Amino acid sequence: MNRCTIIRGGRILDPRNRRDESGDLYIRDGRIAGALTATEAKEAEVIDADGLVVCPGFVDIHVHLREPGQTHKETIASGTRAAAAGGFTSVVCMPNTTPPADNPGTIRRINDAVARAAAVRVYPTGCLTAGMDGEKLAPIGSLFKEGIVAVTDDGKCVQSNELMRRAVEYALMFKLPVLDHCQDASMTEDSVMNEGYWSLRLGLKGWPSAAEDVIIGRNVVLSRHFGAHIHMQHVSSAYGVDILRRARARGIRVSGEATPHHLFFTDANCADYDTHFKMNPPLRTEADRKAIIEGVLDGTLELIATDHAPHTPDEKDREFDYAAFGIIGLETAFAASLEVLHHEANAPLDLVISALTHRPAAILGLPGGHLGEGAPADVALVDPTERRRVDPDRFQSKARNCPWNGRELRGTIQRTLVAGATVWDGKEIRSA
């Protein structure tokens, strides 16, 4: 007998397939079905979705799971539990582990841990350069054979234009996108926050947005000349958005992502030296924030990614200059993005869902991200209007470095299913 589920009476919102209707969603053996037989329907598990939105499970292509080597911060088990609680059914993990994922053995180690402990689907990336040192290329072909979906030195940026050229050419041979953390290191040495009014007032070393813009520009040129797909991670500056907009209008194979924190906060949030607002790239001005919002609304920034970056309390509870960069975001991404884009900017709900589902899936060619017949039954049931106060002590993540702590946000995850099985029931994780 086939294992079947009926998600009954919800608003089915599937932007890729232009489906927005009230009705039932059918699942057979872990995949979306067009209908069930009478016998299957009689035996099926029924999930009541009255008053809820039924949408594809979210896809995050920028997550730090910290395993191997940094499991005091996060593990594949805890990080994927956080993903499930946030409505994410697929995550792409970054290679800045210890050791870095620059060899086939480390990729196999990650995949083995995923098979043992992951609550959701996990796709690994491989390093662009050996040791993420920016000096020589990693063995991208060997990493590709182990199943990586992209290459990146996220957390660092290749400074040599010649080496970056060779890297994108090499990646193109395997049709692998290059994900780039855009930062000219010569302009950001010892910098800890955005360069501007607030850095001067607080006496902190400023980080000019030009350091991001020049690398985005470089990548546009490389993509234009060599045809590779280069994706700009966590775009934070208004001019960076403009560079991407003009490049995409010319048909150049570049793309970009926004993070919930750059949509939500500005450098003014650093006024009290609160290290929960210290991140890389830094929070910028209100003008930059508005430009990022507009970039998501017009499709210049195709997707939302969290850059989920767990740290221990002692790594963040330090002087601003010495605290670690980064925040967690998997369990707040939907509500924070919805608050800004849907409730503040009046964007339709399907735009927010698109930026969290089929668009990120398409960037890396991942399965899922939609509810078409035959697709993996990776589904999120959400309430876009329910208010909830953010309490990191209730998170599934091991980390607590959350800038939304104590804020009331609208948008909750009521259930998350992976391959038709509930992994998050709105209150706790369920074993597969």
Q: Residue 218: which of 266, 170, 183 has the closest Cα?
A: 183
Q: Is residue 195 part of a domain?
A: yes
136 and 42 together in one domain: no
260 and 381 together in one domain: no
Which residue is listed with tokens 């707040």?
A: 332
pLDDT the model gives residue 432:
54
Cα separations in angstroms, 109 against 113, 124, 151, 374: 6, 11, 17, 31
R_g of the chain, CA atoms, integer Å: 21
352 and 231 together in one domain: yes
DSSP per-residue codes, 63-99: E---TTT-TTT--HHHHHHHHHHTTEEEEEE-S-SSS
Q: Is residue 321 part of a domain?
A: yes
251 and 322 together in one domain: yes
For the question of residue 307 being annotated catalytic, the response is: yes
Q: Tell me, what CATH number does 31's domain have? A: 2.30.40.10
45 and 114 together in one domain: no
Percent of the chain with pLDDT over 70: 100
Calpha distance 414→386 (Å, rounded): 10
pLDDT the model gives residue 20:
98
Burial code of 29-44, b = ≥16 C-beta within 10 A, e = fewer? ebbbbeebeeebeeeb
420 and 277 together in one domain: no
415 and 284 together in one domain: no
- pLDDT tens per residue across span 27-80: 999 999 999 999 999 999 999 999 999 999 999 999 999 999 999 999 999 999
77 and 49 together in one domain: no
Q: Is residue 369 part of a domain?
A: no
Structural domain total, the chain: 2
- pLDDT tens per residue across span 81-99: 999 999 999 999 999 999 9
- pLDDT tens per residue across span 236-276: 999 999 999 999 999 999 999 999 999 999 999 999 999 99
146 and 295 together in one domain: yes
pLDDT the model gives residue 2:
75
Range of the domain at 34: 4-54+376-397+410-424
Cα separations in angstroms, 179 against 99, 152, 191, 216, 279: 19, 5, 23, 11, 18
pLDDT the model gives residue 157:
98
Q: Is residue 371 part of a domain?
A: no
* Count of other CB atoms within 10 angstroms of residue 26: 21
147 and 22 together in one domain: no
pLDDT the model gives residue 206:
98
Q: Which two tokens stand for residue 352?
A: 């927010």
Q: Is residue 404 part of a domain?
A: no
The pLDDT-based confidence of 228 (bands split at 50, 70, 90) is very high
Average pLDDT, the chain: 97
Which one of the listed residues 307, 314, 391, 425 is annotated catalytic?
Answer: 307
Q: Is residue 108 part of a domain?
A: yes
Q: Are 30 and 46 in contact (CB under 8 A)?
A: no
184 and 246 together in one domain: yes
Calpha distance 129→391 (Å, rounded): 38
Q: Tell me, what CATH number does 278's domain have? A: 3.20.20.140
220 and 269 together in one domain: yes
Mean pLDDT in residue range 348-355: 98
Q: Is residue 119 part of a domain?
A: yes
Q: Are 91 and 120 in contact (CB under 8 A)?
A: yes
Helix (H) or strand (E) holding 109: helix 104-117
Calpha distance 104→2 (Å, rounded): 37
- pLDDT tens per residue across span 103-141: 999 999 999 999 999 999 999 999 999 999 999 999 999
Sign of the dihedral through C-alpha 195, 192, 91, 401:
negative
Q: Is residue 429 part of a domain?
A: no
pTM of this structure:
0.97
Q: What is the dihedral of CA 112, 177, 56, 405, to 10 degrees?
A: 80
Mean pLDDT in residue range 161-185: 97
